Amino acid sequence: MAENTYMLEVVTPEKIVYRDEVQFTVVPAIDGEIGVLMNHAPLVAALNIGLVRYKDSSGAEKKVAISGGFIEVIDNHGRVLAETAEHGEEIDVLRAKAAKERAERRMAQRDESLNYVRAEQSLKRAIARLKAAGAAF
> Which residues contribute to the site for ligand ATP (CB under 6 A)?
14, 67, 84, 86, 91-92, 95-96, 99, 122, 125, 129
Q: What residue ranges in the chain does DSSP mark as E strands?
A: 6-11, 16-29, 32-36, 43-56, 61-74, 77-82, 85-87
Q: How far is the CB of 122 from ligand ATP (least distance, A)?
A: 5
Comparison of 56 and 86: residue with beta carbon closer to ligand ATP: 86
The residues facing 62 across adjacent strands are 54
Q: Which of 54, 67, 73, 71 is nearest to 14 (CA)?
A: 67
Q: Which is nearer to ligand ATP, 5 or 67 (CB)?
A: 67
Of 23 and 48, which CB lies nearer to ligand ATP in the complex structure? Answer: 48
Minimum distance from residue 119 beta carbon to ligand ATP (Å): 11
* 110: phi then psi, degrees, rounded to nearest 5: -95, 65
User: C-beta of 14: minimal distance to ligand ATP in Å?
Assistant: 6
Q: Closest CB to ligand ATP among 8 and 65?
A: 65
Q: How far is the CB of 103 from ligand ATP (least distance, A)?
A: 8
Determine the 3-state secondary structure of 76 from DSSP.
coil
